[in-house]
Amino acid sequence: MNQATHQAGTALITGASTGIGAVYADRLAARGHDLILVARDRAKLDALAKRLASEHGRAIEVIAADLTRAEDVRRIEQRLREDAAISTLINNAGVGSTSPLLASDPDQLDAMIQLNTTSLTRLTRAVLPGLLGRGAGTIVNISSIAAVAPEILNATYSGSKAYVLAFSQALHKEVADQGVRVQVVLPGAIGTPFWDAAGISVQQLPQDWVMSPEDLVDAALSGLEQGELVTVPSLPSLEDWQAFDDARRALAPNLSRVKPARRYGVA
């Protein structure tokens, strides 16, 4: 193993069998990472692993796991805690919905929250001690533009992705000075099987909205290399995000005060 390969380490990618996760697997293998691919569909994982191993010559392991199931989450947590070769975690697994709250199955909403937020949090918590102990590593969390434009999709989905954004921003503050990079990616509409599961065909969307997963991942990796905490691949001007974030931060001094604002008429 050469020094560059050693430095790359192993990347664990959730939701890796198709779409964004599969493209991350291809791109990271091409950059010298060994891979651990996690998803529910073992057959798709095996096919992807065989192709990537042939094309890139990397060691690729597959783990069939359903991250809405606590026992499967615990299996992946254990691997993240114990495998010192893991240098990168890509929290990509997620599910969406376009149905209003009252038209949604509560059990399906619960599974969405489990996958989009709880599992992501637990996996991040599991990998973090090792990364901090080695003073290096990368955590990439896939959020959504719904985090800042919540009216676009299902209320629970938008809320879960807002959690991913806030979680990532706060985590960055906790670990940035200890050698661990955190990035949160906010995709718009991406041409993946996500939309079928969400209850709408991607063909029903305006086609000038729909980015390919390849372009999305390439932009996200470029943003990571540029040191971005928040990457919004579709946003033409970075200054627009900076203005948005500056406005958010400007609220901070007045968010907690001894008295309510005068407009509420509280004596």
**Which residues are catalytically annotated?**
157
Residue with the two structure tokens 């706060």: 170
**Angle, vertex CA 222, rays to CA 158 and CA 159, nearest 5:** 10
Query: Half-sphere exposure (CA, 13 Å, Cβ side) for 229?
Result: 17
The per-type count for the chain, helices as H runs and strands as E runs, is 10, 7
**Is 100 buried (19+), middle (13-18) or exposed (0-12) by CB count in 10 A?**
exposed
The amino acid that residue 137 corresponds to is G
List, in sequence order, the alpha helices (H) in the chain: 3-8, 19-30, 42-56, 70-82, 106-113, 120-134, 155-175, 194-198, 213-225, 238-250
The amino acid that residue 263 corresponds to is R
**Is 53 buried (19+), middle (13-18) or exposed (0-12) by CB count in 10 A?**
middle
